[in-house]
Amino acid sequence: MKKYFGFLMILIGLLLLALIAYIMFFKNFSTQPRMVEQNNSQSGTNQVNSSLPVQNQATKATVPTPTSNTKTELTQNDLKVMAAAFAERFGSFSNQDDFGNLTDLKVFMSTKMQNWVDQYIKDEIAKKSSTSTYYGITTKAVSETVQSFDKNAGTAQITVSTQRKESTGTPNNSDTFSQNISIAFVKENGIWKIDSANWESK
């Protein structure tokens, strides 16, 4: 009986050891994926952090910058470009264009020149000139020369040399000639505006 009891105790002890070993084995096995997952998570975090400088640079690169339409401190070269574009549109028109070459440019004009345009259009309409015979002229800027530029006073004078093509009756019946235009700028409410534009003799 004692022998049987001793054998039973040994068997129970072995079973307990086996149970403990079994539990420890599966506990370690079950925690291993968790550790791998944590390492992956840390790796992902490092990847995100390493990309932050790139994201910051991209954000800075896409920050809007002031456009030329809102820039008030224009240089002489800026005014030369503006004068050339103005001369081409101002000097290109036809008697069937309904003064588009003037009204389209009013946004670039000073108050004084806008008033001049309004009066000029009224006077031309009052003349009731016939539009049955086509008359048109196109202008291309060739070069620009700065005659004066005073940033503090807010004034500038630029001469634009142009080549013009004048057509009467039909566009094919044309005559080409060179002509300069003197364009004056004034700073109005902090923005450079065109104050006058006068064609010189051919």
On whether the CB atoms of residues 101 and 90 are closer than 8 A, the answer is yes
Q: CA 184 to CA 197: how far, in whole Å?
A: 6
| 3-state SS assignment for residue 62 | coil
Q: How many CB atoms lie within 10 A of CB 192?
A: 22
User: Running DSSP on this structure, what letter comes out for residue 154?
Assistant: T
Q: Consecutive sets of 10 residues in the chain, 202 residues long: mean pLDDT of each? A: 60 65 51 40 36 30 36 84 97 91 96 97 86 89 97 96 93 90 96 97 89
This prediction has a pTM of 0.63
Task: Dig out the tokens for 95 from the structure.
Answer: 């008697």
pLDDT value for 64: 31
On whether the CB atoms of residues 166 and 202 are closer than 8 A, the answer is no
On whether the CB atoms of residues 41 and 34 are closer than 8 A, the answer is no
On whether the CB atoms of residues 90 and 102 are closer than 8 A, the answer is yes
Q: CA 95 to CA 138: how far, in whole Å?
A: 12
